[in-house]
Amino acid sequence: MIKWEDSYSTGVAELDKQHRNLFQYCNDLGDGIHSGDISQNVLVQALTFLEKYIEDHFGREETCMHKFACPIAEKNKFAHQKFIESYKNFQRMISENSDSGVILRELHFFLENWLIEHIGGIDVKLKPCVGN
């Protein structure tokens, strides 16, 4: 479980709310996996959540990075592209009827790393640019 802390804040309330939702979703997914809920349905729901997250969040965040002239904006955009590639790979694994439990565990591991490395390492660099 990875808890949201103020150190993950970007200084943009809307982005931080979306990040907190991703933290919560990742933790809920981990709890479900731990309790044995590794069905194909859970996997499809997870990818549906991520698809919406990609659609709602990435563009807004990239716009904020450019608006506030964040020097890490291009690195952020590149990381988002890599995330989308990974998302598509998870979709491919489902279409190949791979084991949903294995995919869910890999997806959870991927998301935990994203929370720490991307939000905690890249997105937080927006905060000094916003001036909060």
Output the pLDDT for position 36: 87
Query: For residue range 38-60, what is the model confidence (pLDDT) as tens digits?
Result: 878 888 899 999 999 999 999 99
- pTM, whole model, 2 decimals? 0.91
Taking CA atoms, 122 is separated from 28, 32, 33, 105, 127, in Å, by 24, 28, 28, 24, 10
Query: For residue range 48-95, what is the model confidence (pLDDT) as tens digits?
Result: 999 999 999 999 999 999 999 999 999 999 999 999 999 999 999 888
Output the pLDDT for position 88: 95
Which fold does the domain 10-130 belong to in CATH?
Answer: Four Helix Bundle (Hemerythrin (Met), subunit A) (1.20.120)
Joined together, the tokens standing for residue 111 give 């998301």
